[in-house]
Structure 1
Amino acid sequence: MLSTLRFVIAIGIVALYTLPLMVVQEIALRTGFFSDRIVPRLWHRLTLRVLGVRVRMKGRRSRERPQMIVANHVSWLDILVLGSLDGVHFIAKSDMRNWPILGTFARQQRSVFVERERRRASPEQAREIAERLSDGDPMVLFAEGTTGDGNKVLPFKSTLFGAAQLALGEDKSRQVTIQPAAIVYLASHGLKLDRRERSTISWIGDLDLMPHLRLVLAARPLDVEVRFGAPLPFSVAGERKKIAREAENQVRSMLVQALRS
Protein backbone atom coordinates (compact mmCIF):
# COMPACT_ATOMS: atom_id res chain seq x y z
CA MET A 1 0.00 0.00 0.00
CA LEU A 2 2.81 2.38 0.96
CA SER A 3 4.71 1.62 -2.26
CA THR A 4 1.58 2.33 -4.31
CA LEU A 5 1.12 5.65 -2.53
CA ARG A 6 4.74 6.62 -3.21
CA PHE A 7 4.29 5.67 -6.86
CA VAL A 8 1.16 7.83 -7.21
CA ILE A 9 2.80 10.78 -5.44
CA ALA A 10 5.90 10.57 -7.67
CA ILE A 11 3.80 10.44 -10.84
CA GLY A 12 1.74 13.37 -9.58
CA ILE A 13 4.80 15.50 -8.87
CA VAL A 14 6.30 14.78 -12.31
CA ALA A 15 2.97 15.61 -13.98
CA LEU A 16 2.77 18.87 -12.01
CA TYR A 17 5.86 20.41 -13.59
CA THR A 18 5.92 18.54 -16.91
CA LEU A 19 3.07 20.33 -18.70
CA PRO A 20 4.27 23.88 -17.87
CA LEU A 21 7.81 22.99 -18.92
CA MET A 22 6.54 21.52 -22.19
CA VAL A 23 4.79 24.82 -22.92
CA VAL A 24 7.95 26.78 -22.16
CA GLN A 25 10.01 24.44 -24.34
CA GLU A 26 7.59 24.84 -27.22
CA ILE A 27 7.97 28.60 -26.94
CA ALA A 28 11.75 28.20 -27.06
CA LEU A 29 11.51 26.01 -30.16
CA ARG A 30 9.10 28.30 -31.99
CA THR A 31 10.58 31.69 -31.10
CA GLY A 32 14.26 31.12 -30.37
CA PHE A 33 14.05 33.73 -27.59
CA PHE A 34 16.16 31.46 -25.37
CA SER A 35 18.05 28.19 -25.73
CA ASP A 36 15.96 25.07 -26.31
CA ARG A 37 18.50 23.08 -24.26
CA ILE A 38 17.63 24.66 -20.89
CA VAL A 39 14.19 23.14 -20.26
CA PRO A 40 15.04 19.51 -21.17
CA ARG A 41 18.08 19.59 -18.89
CA LEU A 42 15.95 21.04 -16.06
CA TRP A 43 13.22 18.41 -16.59
CA HIS A 44 15.70 15.54 -16.54
CA ARG A 45 17.33 16.83 -13.35
CA LEU A 46 14.02 17.37 -11.57
CA THR A 47 12.77 13.92 -12.55
CA LEU A 48 15.96 12.23 -11.39
CA ARG A 49 15.48 13.92 -8.02
CA VAL A 50 11.85 12.80 -7.78
CA LEU A 51 12.83 9.22 -8.65
CA GLY A 52 15.66 9.28 -6.13
CA VAL A 53 18.40 8.70 -8.71
CA ARG A 54 21.77 10.19 -7.75
CA VAL A 55 24.23 10.76 -10.60
CA ARG A 56 27.99 11.05 -10.19
CA MET A 57 30.30 11.95 -13.08
CA LYS A 58 33.89 10.84 -13.42
CA GLY A 59 36.32 11.95 -16.10
CA ARG A 60 36.23 15.00 -18.30
CA ARG A 61 33.69 15.63 -20.99
CA SER A 62 35.19 17.00 -24.17
CA ARG A 63 34.13 20.47 -25.35
CA GLU A 64 35.24 19.86 -28.91
CA ARG A 65 32.66 20.10 -31.69
CA PRO A 66 31.34 18.31 -33.70
CA GLN A 67 30.87 15.68 -30.98
CA MET A 68 29.18 12.30 -30.67
CA ILE A 69 28.88 10.76 -27.20
CA VAL A 70 28.87 6.96 -27.51
CA ALA A 71 27.48 5.08 -24.50
CA ASN A 72 26.29 1.70 -23.33
CA HIS A 73 22.56 1.30 -22.72
CA VAL A 74 20.98 -0.23 -19.61
CA SER A 75 17.60 1.43 -19.04
CA TRP A 76 15.27 4.22 -20.06
CA LEU A 77 16.84 5.97 -17.06
CA ASP A 78 19.99 6.42 -19.16
CA ILE A 79 18.13 9.11 -21.09
CA LEU A 80 17.46 11.08 -17.91
CA VAL A 81 21.01 10.52 -16.67
CA LEU A 82 22.70 11.80 -19.84
CA GLY A 83 19.91 14.30 -20.51
CA SER A 84 20.78 16.02 -17.23
CA LEU A 85 24.11 16.99 -18.80
CA ASP A 86 24.60 20.27 -20.57
CA GLY A 87 23.11 20.50 -24.05
CA VAL A 88 22.95 16.96 -25.47
CA HIS A 89 20.55 15.50 -28.02
CA PHE A 90 19.72 11.84 -28.53
CA ILE A 91 19.75 9.35 -31.37
CA ALA A 92 16.74 7.29 -30.30
CA LYS A 93 14.75 4.32 -31.52
CA SER A 94 11.71 5.33 -33.55
CA ASP A 95 9.25 3.65 -31.15
CA MET A 96 10.34 6.02 -28.38
CA ARG A 97 8.52 8.77 -30.25
CA ASN A 98 5.21 7.39 -28.90
CA TRP A 99 6.28 6.86 -25.28
CA PRO A 100 4.23 8.77 -22.68
CA ILE A 101 6.05 11.87 -21.35
CA LEU A 102 9.56 10.71 -22.34
CA GLY A 103 8.54 10.48 -25.99
CA THR A 104 7.14 13.99 -25.99
CA PHE A 105 10.23 15.38 -24.34
CA ALA A 106 12.43 13.43 -26.73
CA ARG A 107 10.68 15.19 -29.64
CA GLN A 108 10.97 18.58 -27.95
CA GLN A 109 14.63 17.91 -27.24
CA ARG A 110 15.07 17.50 -31.01
CA SER A 111 16.08 13.86 -30.86
CA VAL A 112 16.80 12.04 -34.11
CA PHE A 113 14.59 8.94 -34.35
CA VAL A 114 16.06 5.99 -36.22
CA GLU A 115 14.74 2.61 -37.36
CA ARG A 116 17.71 0.31 -36.83
CA GLU A 117 15.92 -2.69 -38.33
CA ARG A 118 15.44 -0.88 -41.66
CA ARG A 119 18.86 -1.03 -43.28
CA ARG A 120 17.67 0.85 -46.36
CA ALA A 121 16.83 3.83 -44.15
CA SER A 122 20.34 3.96 -42.65
CA PRO A 123 21.89 6.40 -45.20
CA GLU A 124 19.03 8.87 -44.78
CA GLN A 125 19.18 8.60 -40.99
CA ALA A 126 22.95 9.03 -41.03
CA ARG A 127 22.61 12.20 -43.10
CA GLU A 128 20.16 13.69 -40.60
CA ILE A 129 22.54 12.94 -37.73
CA ALA A 130 25.41 14.38 -39.77
CA GLU A 131 23.50 17.64 -40.27
CA ARG A 132 22.95 17.95 -36.55
CA LEU A 133 26.60 17.28 -35.81
CA SER A 134 27.61 19.88 -38.39
CA ASP A 135 25.34 22.39 -36.65
CA GLY A 136 27.28 21.84 -33.41
CA ASP A 137 24.72 19.68 -31.61
CA PRO A 138 26.39 17.05 -29.36
CA MET A 139 24.58 13.79 -30.21
CA VAL A 140 24.27 10.78 -27.89
CA LEU A 141 24.40 7.34 -29.53
CA PHE A 142 23.58 4.14 -27.61
CA ALA A 143 25.83 2.09 -29.83
CA GLU A 144 24.75 -1.38 -28.68
CA GLY A 145 21.42 -0.84 -30.41
CA THR A 146 19.54 -2.37 -27.46
CA THR A 147 19.64 -2.48 -23.67
CA GLY A 148 21.95 -4.78 -21.75
CA ASP A 149 21.84 -6.07 -18.17
CA GLY A 150 24.24 -3.47 -16.79
CA ASN A 151 26.93 -6.07 -16.01
CA LYS A 152 28.58 -6.16 -19.43
CA VAL A 153 28.80 -4.23 -22.68
CA LEU A 154 27.30 -5.68 -25.85
CA PRO A 155 29.11 -5.31 -29.22
CA PHE A 156 28.79 -1.82 -30.68
CA LYS A 157 27.06 -1.47 -34.04
CA SER A 158 29.14 0.69 -36.36
CA THR A 159 26.50 1.76 -38.90
CA LEU A 160 25.59 5.15 -37.40
CA PHE A 161 29.24 6.01 -36.77
CA GLY A 162 29.24 6.79 -40.48
CA ALA A 163 27.18 9.88 -39.68
CA ALA A 164 30.28 11.38 -38.07
CA GLN A 165 32.15 11.07 -41.37
CA LEU A 166 29.26 12.55 -43.33
CA ALA A 167 29.33 15.57 -41.02
CA LEU A 168 32.86 16.35 -42.20
CA GLY A 169 32.00 16.38 -45.89
CA GLU A 170 35.14 16.42 -48.02
CA ASP A 171 37.20 18.48 -45.57
CA LYS A 172 40.08 16.19 -44.61
CA SER A 173 41.41 18.68 -42.06
CA ARG A 174 38.33 18.45 -39.83
CA GLN A 175 37.51 15.83 -37.21
CA VAL A 176 34.51 14.66 -35.21
CA THR A 177 35.20 13.93 -31.55
CA ILE A 178 33.86 10.55 -30.45
CA GLN A 179 33.54 10.55 -26.64
CA PRO A 180 33.03 7.12 -25.04
CA ALA A 181 30.83 7.13 -21.92
CA ALA A 182 30.03 4.27 -19.53
CA ILE A 183 26.78 4.33 -17.56
CA VAL A 184 27.12 2.20 -14.43
CA TYR A 185 24.37 1.37 -11.91
CA LEU A 186 26.28 0.97 -8.65
CA ALA A 187 24.13 0.99 -5.51
CA SER A 188 20.61 0.96 -4.08
CA HIS A 189 19.74 2.17 -0.58
CA GLY A 190 23.46 2.85 -0.13
CA LEU A 191 24.36 -0.81 -0.67
CA LYS A 192 26.36 -2.05 -3.67
CA LEU A 193 24.27 -3.86 -6.27
CA ASP A 194 25.23 -7.44 -7.13
CA ARG A 195 24.94 -8.86 -10.65
CA ARG A 196 21.39 -10.12 -10.13
CA GLU A 197 20.16 -6.86 -8.59
CA ARG A 198 21.79 -4.80 -11.35
CA SER A 199 20.13 -6.99 -13.95
CA THR A 200 16.78 -6.39 -12.24
CA ILE A 201 17.29 -2.62 -12.37
CA SER A 202 18.07 -2.84 -16.10
CA TRP A 203 15.27 -2.56 -18.65
CA ILE A 204 15.64 -5.38 -21.15
CA GLY A 205 13.36 -6.25 -24.05
CA ASP A 206 9.70 -5.29 -24.08
CA LEU A 207 9.13 -4.72 -20.36
CA ASP A 208 6.33 -2.26 -19.67
CA LEU A 209 7.48 1.16 -18.48
CA MET A 210 5.16 1.61 -15.48
CA PRO A 211 6.04 -1.65 -13.63
CA HIS A 212 9.71 -0.88 -14.14
CA LEU A 213 9.16 2.66 -12.85
CA ARG A 214 7.71 1.19 -9.64
CA LEU A 215 10.80 -1.00 -9.33
CA VAL A 216 13.08 2.03 -9.70
CA LEU A 217 11.14 3.93 -7.03
CA ALA A 218 11.47 0.95 -4.68
CA ALA A 219 15.25 0.97 -5.23
CA ARG A 220 15.82 4.61 -4.30
CA PRO A 221 18.16 6.14 -3.57
CA LEU A 222 19.75 4.63 -6.68
CA ASP A 223 23.35 5.59 -7.41
CA VAL A 224 24.52 5.86 -11.02
CA GLU A 225 27.97 6.78 -12.27
CA VAL A 226 28.82 8.19 -15.70
CA ARG A 227 32.45 7.75 -16.71
CA PHE A 228 33.85 9.67 -19.66
CA GLY A 229 36.72 8.11 -21.58
CA ALA A 230 39.46 9.57 -23.73
CA PRO A 231 38.06 11.44 -26.77
CA LEU A 232 38.68 9.70 -30.09
CA PRO A 233 39.32 11.90 -33.15
CA PHE A 234 37.43 10.61 -36.19
CA SER A 235 38.39 11.96 -39.60
CA VAL A 236 37.00 11.58 -43.11
CA ALA A 237 39.61 8.91 -43.78
CA GLY A 238 38.87 7.03 -40.54
CA GLU A 239 37.42 3.52 -40.41
CA ARG A 240 34.03 3.48 -38.68
CA LYS A 241 34.35 -0.16 -37.62
CA LYS A 242 37.73 0.51 -36.07
CA ILE A 243 36.54 3.60 -34.19
CA ALA A 244 33.45 1.67 -33.01
CA ARG A 245 35.70 -1.06 -31.60
CA GLU A 246 37.94 1.48 -29.87
CA ALA A 247 34.92 3.19 -28.28
CA GLU A 248 33.46 -0.18 -27.26
CA ASN A 249 36.73 -1.24 -25.63
CA GLN A 250 36.92 2.00 -23.64
CA VAL A 251 33.32 1.72 -22.43
CA ARG A 252 33.80 -1.93 -21.45
CA SER A 253 37.00 -1.11 -19.57
CA MET A 254 35.36 1.78 -17.69
CA LEU A 255 32.36 -0.38 -16.77
CA VAL A 256 34.62 -3.11 -15.36
CA GLN A 257 36.68 -0.57 -13.40
CA ALA A 258 33.58 1.03 -11.91
CA LEU A 259 32.07 -2.32 -10.87
CA ARG A 260 35.34 -3.41 -9.24
CA SER A 261 35.95 -0.16 -7.36
Structure 2
Amino acid sequence: MSRAGAFLRLGAFGALTAAGIPVQWLLLKTGLPGSRSVPLVYHRALCRVLRVRRTVSGAPATQRPLLLTANHVSWLDIVVLSAVLPVSFVAKSEVGGWPVFGLLARLQRTIFVDRTRRSATRETTAEMAERLSSGDAIVLFAEGTSSDHNRILPFRSALLGAAREAVTAGGEGCVWVQPVSITYTGWNGVGMGRFWRPRVAWYGDMTLPPHLWDLTKRGRLAVTVSFGAPITVDQRSDRKAVARQLETEVRSMTRTARNGTA
Protein backbone atom coordinates (compact mmCIF):
# COMPACT_ATOMS: atom_id res chain seq x y z
CA MET A 1 0.00 0.00 0.00
CA SER A 2 1.29 3.52 -0.80
CA ARG A 3 2.37 5.99 1.85
CA ALA A 4 -0.16 8.47 0.45
CA GLY A 5 -2.96 5.96 1.00
CA ALA A 6 -1.76 5.35 4.55
CA PHE A 7 -1.79 9.09 5.28
CA LEU A 8 -5.34 9.33 3.93
CA ARG A 9 -6.48 6.53 6.22
CA LEU A 10 -4.82 8.10 9.23
CA GLY A 11 -6.50 11.37 8.32
CA ALA A 12 -9.85 9.62 8.18
CA PHE A 13 -9.04 8.01 11.54
CA GLY A 14 -8.40 11.45 13.01
CA ALA A 15 -11.52 13.02 11.51
CA LEU A 16 -13.73 10.17 12.70
CA THR A 17 -12.26 10.39 16.19
CA ALA A 18 -12.61 14.17 16.37
CA ALA A 19 -16.27 13.89 15.39
CA GLY A 20 -17.06 11.09 17.84
CA ILE A 21 -15.37 12.42 20.99
CA PRO A 22 -17.71 15.38 21.70
CA VAL A 23 -20.81 13.27 20.99
CA GLN A 24 -19.80 10.54 23.44
CA TRP A 25 -18.65 13.08 26.04
CA LEU A 26 -22.01 14.85 25.89
CA LEU A 27 -23.95 11.60 26.22
CA LEU A 28 -21.94 10.54 29.27
CA LYS A 29 -22.12 13.98 30.82
CA THR A 30 -25.89 14.33 30.44
CA GLY A 31 -26.82 10.69 30.99
CA LEU A 32 -28.75 10.60 27.73
CA PRO A 33 -29.20 7.18 26.05
CA GLY A 34 -26.71 6.15 23.39
CA SER A 35 -23.43 6.13 25.30
CA ARG A 36 -23.14 2.36 24.74
CA SER A 37 -24.03 2.45 21.04
CA VAL A 38 -21.76 5.34 19.96
CA PRO A 39 -18.53 3.37 20.56
CA LEU A 40 -20.04 0.46 18.60
CA VAL A 41 -20.75 2.68 15.57
CA TYR A 42 -17.37 4.42 15.90
CA HIS A 43 -15.36 1.19 15.99
CA ARG A 44 -17.27 -0.34 13.08
CA ALA A 45 -16.44 2.73 11.02
CA LEU A 46 -12.83 2.54 12.24
CA CYS A 47 -12.58 -1.06 11.05
CA ARG A 48 -13.62 0.11 7.59
CA VAL A 49 -11.05 2.92 7.64
CA LEU A 50 -8.26 0.56 8.72
CA ARG A 51 -9.50 -2.15 6.33
CA VAL A 52 -10.01 -4.75 9.03
CA ARG A 53 -12.39 -7.51 7.92
CA ARG A 54 -14.12 -9.22 10.83
CA THR A 55 -15.49 -12.75 10.86
CA VAL A 56 -17.56 -13.73 13.89
CA SER A 57 -17.91 -17.35 14.96
CA GLY A 58 -20.55 -18.10 17.55
CA ALA A 59 -22.38 -15.25 19.24
CA PRO A 60 -22.07 -13.03 22.31
CA ALA A 61 -24.15 -14.25 25.22
CA THR A 62 -27.39 -12.38 25.79
CA GLN A 63 -27.51 -13.21 29.51
CA ARG A 64 -26.46 -10.68 32.11
CA PRO A 65 -24.36 -10.10 34.18
CA LEU A 66 -21.71 -10.95 31.53
CA LEU A 67 -17.92 -11.06 31.77
CA LEU A 68 -16.04 -11.77 28.53
CA THR A 69 -12.55 -13.28 28.91
CA ALA A 70 -10.33 -12.93 25.84
CA ASN A 71 -6.76 -13.47 24.74
CA HIS A 72 -4.82 -10.28 24.03
CA VAL A 73 -2.76 -9.60 20.91
CA SER A 74 -2.78 -5.87 20.19
CA TRP A 75 -4.41 -2.50 20.84
CA LEU A 76 -6.41 -3.41 17.75
CA ASP A 77 -8.28 -6.04 19.81
CA ILE A 78 -10.22 -3.17 21.41
CA VAL A 79 -11.31 -1.85 18.03
CA VAL A 80 -12.30 -5.31 16.82
CA LEU A 81 -14.29 -6.37 19.90
CA SER A 82 -15.95 -2.97 20.24
CA ALA A 83 -17.18 -3.31 16.64
CA VAL A 84 -18.95 -6.57 17.51
CA LEU A 85 -20.92 -5.54 20.61
CA PRO A 86 -21.11 -2.72 23.18
CA VAL A 87 -18.46 -3.45 25.81
CA SER A 88 -16.14 -1.82 28.31
CA PHE A 89 -12.64 -3.03 29.12
CA VAL A 90 -10.30 -3.56 32.04
CA ALA A 91 -6.92 -1.92 31.36
CA LYS A 92 -3.75 -0.94 33.18
CA SER A 93 -3.89 2.55 34.68
CA GLU A 94 -1.11 3.84 32.40
CA VAL A 95 -3.50 3.66 29.44
CA GLY A 96 -5.60 6.43 30.96
CA GLY A 97 -2.68 8.86 30.56
CA TRP A 98 -1.98 8.15 26.89
CA PRO A 99 -2.65 11.03 24.49
CA VAL A 100 -5.93 10.57 22.58
CA PHE A 101 -6.13 6.82 23.26
CA GLY A 102 -6.42 7.42 27.00
CA LEU A 103 -9.32 9.79 26.38
CA LEU A 104 -10.99 7.24 24.11
CA ALA A 105 -10.59 4.59 26.82
CA ARG A 106 -12.22 6.84 29.42
CA LEU A 107 -15.08 7.70 27.08
CA GLN A 108 -15.70 3.97 26.68
CA ARG A 109 -15.87 3.73 30.47
CA THR A 110 -12.76 1.58 30.80
CA ILE A 111 -12.01 0.21 34.26
CA PHE A 112 -8.40 1.04 35.13
CA VAL A 113 -6.27 -1.08 37.46
CA ASP A 114 -3.17 0.32 39.14
CA ARG A 115 -0.71 -2.56 39.15
CA THR A 116 1.74 -0.71 41.40
CA ARG A 117 -0.56 -0.93 44.45
CA ARG A 118 -1.26 -4.18 46.27
CA SER A 119 -4.86 -3.16 46.97
CA ALA A 120 -5.57 -2.39 43.30
CA THR A 121 -6.92 -5.83 42.42
CA ARG A 122 -9.46 -5.67 45.23
CA GLU A 123 -10.62 -2.18 44.20
CA THR A 124 -10.82 -3.14 40.53
CA THR A 125 -12.74 -6.28 41.40
CA ALA A 126 -15.30 -4.22 43.33
CA GLU A 127 -15.74 -1.78 40.44
CA MET A 128 -16.10 -4.62 37.95
CA ALA A 129 -18.71 -6.26 40.15
CA GLU A 130 -20.72 -3.04 40.32
CA ARG A 131 -20.60 -2.54 36.56
CA LEU A 132 -21.47 -6.16 35.82
CA SER A 133 -24.43 -5.94 38.15
CA SER A 134 -25.66 -2.80 36.35
CA GLY A 135 -25.81 -4.71 33.06
CA ASP A 136 -22.52 -3.71 31.41
CA ALA A 137 -20.67 -6.35 29.40
CA ILE A 138 -17.05 -6.20 30.59
CA VAL A 139 -14.04 -7.54 28.67
CA LEU A 140 -11.13 -8.92 30.66
CA PHE A 141 -7.91 -9.74 28.81
CA ALA A 142 -7.25 -12.69 31.05
CA GLU A 143 -3.56 -13.18 30.17
CA GLY A 144 -2.82 -9.89 31.92
CA THR A 145 -0.71 -8.63 28.99
CA SER A 146 -0.46 -9.00 25.21
CA SER A 147 1.52 -11.76 23.49
CA ASP A 148 3.29 -12.27 20.16
CA HIS A 149 0.17 -14.09 18.86
CA ASN A 150 2.08 -17.33 18.33
CA ARG A 151 1.12 -18.39 21.84
CA ILE A 152 -1.53 -17.78 24.47
CA LEU A 153 -0.26 -17.00 27.94
CA PRO A 154 -1.78 -18.60 31.05
CA PHE A 155 -5.02 -16.95 32.17
CA ARG A 156 -4.81 -15.12 35.48
CA SER A 157 -7.60 -15.82 37.90
CA ALA A 158 -7.43 -12.83 40.28
CA LEU A 159 -9.91 -10.54 38.53
CA LEU A 160 -12.32 -13.40 37.91
CA GLY A 161 -13.26 -12.83 41.53
CA ALA A 162 -15.36 -9.93 40.20
CA ALA A 163 -17.80 -12.46 38.79
CA ARG A 164 -18.38 -13.95 42.24
CA GLU A 165 -18.70 -10.50 43.83
CA ALA A 166 -21.29 -9.51 41.24
CA VAL A 167 -23.47 -12.37 42.44
CA THR A 168 -23.71 -10.73 45.84
CA ALA A 169 -23.76 -7.12 44.60
CA GLY A 170 -26.51 -7.72 42.08
CA GLY A 171 -28.52 -10.24 44.00
CA GLU A 172 -28.24 -12.65 41.08
CA GLY A 173 -27.87 -16.40 41.31
CA CYS A 174 -24.90 -16.45 38.93
CA VAL A 175 -22.78 -14.46 36.54
CA TRP A 176 -22.18 -15.57 32.97
CA VAL A 177 -18.55 -15.78 31.88
CA GLN A 178 -17.87 -16.27 28.17
CA PRO A 179 -14.53 -17.18 26.53
CA VAL A 180 -13.57 -15.15 23.45
CA SER A 181 -10.76 -15.82 20.97
CA ILE A 182 -9.26 -13.04 18.83
CA THR A 183 -7.30 -14.53 15.93
CA TYR A 184 -5.68 -12.49 13.16
CA THR A 185 -5.75 -14.80 10.17
CA GLY A 186 -4.58 -12.97 7.07
CA TRP A 187 -3.05 -9.93 5.43
CA ASN A 188 -4.11 -8.85 1.93
CA GLY A 189 -5.78 -12.20 1.31
CA VAL A 190 -2.76 -14.27 2.34
CA GLY A 191 -2.89 -16.53 5.39
CA MET A 192 -0.93 -15.39 8.41
CA GLY A 193 1.64 -17.87 9.72
CA ARG A 194 4.17 -17.83 12.54
CA PHE A 195 6.37 -15.23 10.84
CA TRP A 196 3.64 -12.62 10.33
CA ARG A 197 1.66 -13.01 13.55
CA PRO A 198 4.17 -11.02 15.65
CA ARG A 199 3.95 -8.21 13.07
CA VAL A 200 0.29 -7.62 13.85
CA ALA A 201 0.83 -8.19 17.59
CA TRP A 202 1.63 -5.24 19.85
CA TYR A 203 3.56 -6.46 22.86
CA GLY A 204 6.67 -6.02 24.96
CA ASP A 205 8.21 -2.54 24.69
CA MET A 206 6.64 -1.65 21.31
CA THR A 207 5.42 1.95 20.98
CA LEU A 208 2.00 2.70 19.57
CA PRO A 209 2.53 5.25 16.73
CA PRO A 210 4.99 3.11 14.67
CA HIS A 211 2.77 0.06 15.10
CA LEU A 212 -0.32 1.98 13.97
CA TRP A 213 1.57 3.31 10.95
CA ASP A 214 2.82 -0.15 10.00
CA LEU A 215 -0.67 -1.66 10.13
CA THR A 216 -2.16 1.23 8.18
CA LYS A 217 0.24 0.98 5.28
CA ARG A 218 0.19 -2.82 5.00
CA GLY A 219 -3.41 -3.03 3.84
CA ARG A 220 -6.30 -5.41 4.47
CA LEU A 221 -6.27 -7.42 7.67
CA ALA A 222 -8.55 -10.37 8.46
CA VAL A 223 -9.53 -11.30 12.00
CA THR A 224 -11.81 -13.96 13.45
CA VAL A 225 -13.63 -13.32 16.72
CA SER A 226 -14.85 -16.61 18.21
CA PHE A 227 -17.34 -16.80 21.06
CA GLY A 228 -17.41 -19.97 23.12
CA ALA A 229 -20.23 -21.31 25.24
CA PRO A 230 -20.79 -19.15 28.34
CA ILE A 231 -20.43 -20.77 31.73
CA THR A 232 -22.03 -19.79 35.00
CA VAL A 233 -20.06 -18.65 38.01
CA ASP A 234 -21.50 -18.40 41.50
CA GLN A 235 -20.12 -17.94 44.99
CA ARG A 236 -19.04 -21.56 45.20
CA SER A 237 -17.03 -21.52 41.95
CA ASP A 238 -13.29 -22.10 42.08
CA ARG A 239 -11.87 -19.13 40.15
CA LYS A 240 -8.63 -20.95 39.33
CA ALA A 241 -10.52 -23.88 37.85
CA VAL A 242 -12.73 -21.45 35.92
CA ALA A 243 -9.64 -19.66 34.55
CA ARG A 244 -8.16 -22.97 33.36
CA GLN A 245 -11.44 -23.93 31.66
CA LEU A 246 -11.69 -20.56 29.88
CA GLU A 247 -8.04 -20.71 28.79
CA THR A 248 -8.50 -24.20 27.33
CA GLU A 249 -11.53 -23.06 25.35
CA VAL A 250 -9.79 -19.96 24.00
CA ARG A 251 -6.79 -22.03 22.92
CA SER A 252 -9.11 -24.45 21.11
CA MET A 253 -11.02 -21.69 19.31
CA THR A 254 -7.76 -20.01 18.28
CA ARG A 255 -6.46 -23.25 16.74
CA THR A 256 -9.74 -23.70 14.88
CA ALA A 257 -9.62 -20.15 13.50
CA ARG A 258 -6.01 -20.58 12.35
CA ASN A 259 -6.97 -23.78 10.55
CA GLY A 260 -9.70 -21.93 8.71
CA THR A 261 -12.54 -24.00 10.10
CA ALA A 262 -14.12 -21.37 12.34
> Shorter-chain TM-score category?
over 0.9
1:136–1:201 Cα change, 3 Å: same
Question: Which residue number in structure 2 is paired with residue 58 of structure 1?
Answer: 57
1:59–1:117 Cα change, 3 Å: farther
Question: Which residue number in structure 1 is paired with residue 207 of structure 2?
Answer: 208
Q: Which moved more, 1:114-123 or 1:35-44?
A: 114-123
CA distance in 1, matches of 2:251, 2:220: 25
Q: Do residues 177 (structure 1) and 176 (structure 2) align?
A: yes
Deviation at 1:19, TM superposition (A): 1.8
CA distance in 2, matches of 1:171, 1:80: 29
Question: Which residue number in structure 2 is paired with residue 155 of structure 1?
Answer: 154
1:145-201 CA deviation, whole Å, 9 max, x = no partner? 111111221100100000111111188861111000000000001000110101111
CA distance in 2, matches of 1:172, 1:30: 28
Q: Which moved more, 1:99-108 or 1:155-164?
A: 99-108
Deviation at 1:85, TM superposition (A): 2.1
Q: Which moved more, 1:224-233 or 1:100-109?
A: 100-109
1:40–1:53 Cα change, 3 Å: same
Question: Which residue number in structure 2 is paired with residue 131 of structure 1?
Answer: 130
Q: State percent identity of aligned pairs.
A: 42
CA contact (8 A) 2:10 2:216 kept: no
Q: Do residues 234 (structure 1) and 204 (structure 2) align?
A: no
CA distance in 1, matches of 2:62, 2:77: 21
CA distance in 2, matches of 1:102, 1:220: 22
SS at match of 2:130: helix
Deviation at 1:237, TM superposition (A): 0.8
CA distance in 2, matches of 1:86, 1:59: 13
* Equivalence map 1:243-258=2 (5 Å): 243-258=242-257
CA contact (8 A) 2:134 2:170 kept: no
Q: Which moved more, 1:125-134 or 1:86-95?
A: 86-95
SS at match of 1:91: strand
1:40-65 CA deviation, whole Å, 9 max, x = no partner? 11111111111111111001211010
SS at match of 1:106: helix
CA contact (8 A) 2:148 2:201 kept: yes
If the length of structure 2 is used for normalisation, what is the TM-score?
Answer: 0.94
Deviation at 1:131, TM superposition (A): 0.5
* Code of the aligned partner of 1:176: V
1:12–1:171 Cα change, 3 Å: closer
CA contact (8 A) 2:130 2:169 kept: no
1:192-217 CA deviation, whole Å, 9 max, x = no partner? 01101011111111211111112212
CA distance in 1, matches of 2:118, 2:6: 40
CA distance in 1, matches of 2:26, 2:172: 38
SS at match of 2:69: strand
CA contact (8 A) 2:188 2:220 kept: yes
Which ranges of structure 2 fall in alignment gaps of 5 or more residues? none
CA contact (8 A) 1:172 1:235 kept: no
CA distance in 2, matches of 1:103, 1:225: 26
* Equivalence map 1:47-196=2 (5 Å): 47-169=46-168, 174-196=173-195
* Code of the aligned partner of 1:166: E
Pairs aligned (count): 260
Q: Which moved more, 1:61-70 or 1:163-172?
A: 163-172
After superposition, the CA RMSD in angstroms is: 1.6
Q: Which moved more, 1:134-143 or 1:89-98?
A: 89-98
SS at match of 1:257: helix
SS at match of 2:20: helix
If the length of structure 1 is used for normalisation, what is the TM-score?
Answer: 0.95
Which ranges of structure 1 fall in alignment gaps of 5 or more residues? none
